[in-house]
Structure 1
Amino acid sequence: MKRMLSGLLFLLLAGSVVAQDATVVGGWTLLDQFDKPYTVNAELRVVLIARDMAGSQLVKSALEGRPAGYLEARHVVFVADISRMPAPISAMFAVPAMRDYSYRVLLDRDARIASRFTAQPEVVTWLQVERGRVVDIRRFDSTDTLRQALERGAP
């Protein structure tokens, strides 16, 4: 009985550590479409995550006509999970096309970052960050609502 209680306590503590880690945004660096590294910093307020082309298209449409530096000025980063894209396709077509964007795209080639959070296909996941912790998670499936949220700085 004592072993069973000890085992249960261990599982509960381990589970809370895992859950706590999922709410922390920090300690990672990704390369962008120009192979320039970005490391999470204290100024970060929002992480946008797209798990597929549909989500990436939502971000692209929402940022259409916005000036270069638009996301950075709002302390927002955009993470594109390209882990399921075949490497030759991403190297020859997708990443070179992203170099024409007026905004930075952080490339999650191994789903190291996107897999930490409940990002879903065909939507953009918005992680609201305060002092390195996720305080709110929203999902957008509409260009207009995503654009409005970016304008306001929060959904």
Structure 2
Amino acid sequence: MGGEALYFSGGVTWVVKTPSAVYGEVLDDYAYRVKIDLSTGSSFCTCPKGGSCEHVDAVKIALERGFYFECNTNVFPEACALSMMEEVPALALEYSIKMLRYELQTDESGSKSAYFFMLSMDLERKLRDPRKLPILQELLDEYTRLFPDYPLTERLKSEFKRLKSELIKARE
């Protein structure tokens, strides 16, 4: 998949622009991290190509389209992006659902998937937007299919049932 396809399919999860570099995360076969040096234009990617790849191209497209956060530090750019998302719960929910979908395809233990499912439910509880419930139900069904014997699966199902009940009561 090329950079444009990765960008338009939603593969870019976050981009941070600092005074000296642009950082980003792109979901493909794996979650890859990208760094583009603004003074030289050189790039680094954690994919096997190491840079000058479709992941770098996807981050560049996101940057050109204004899909980035500005931060003043090059240390832990992901923390900056997540901090900015926290200020916009709807954006944070989109991110957590995107990550949940991705983790359900790659997470063999169910741990990261469960984390993003709980995060999504917490954000949904804050937003009180029942339109996301069918999406979360679909993702819970997939989690249940993948990890049917986990006690955690039953806990997630119980938490989701409680969330649905809370949202229904809030609408009454």
The two structures share one fold, judged by TM-score above 0.5 = no
Higher strand share: 1
Asked which structure has the greater RCO (Cα within 8 Å, sep 6+), the reply is 1
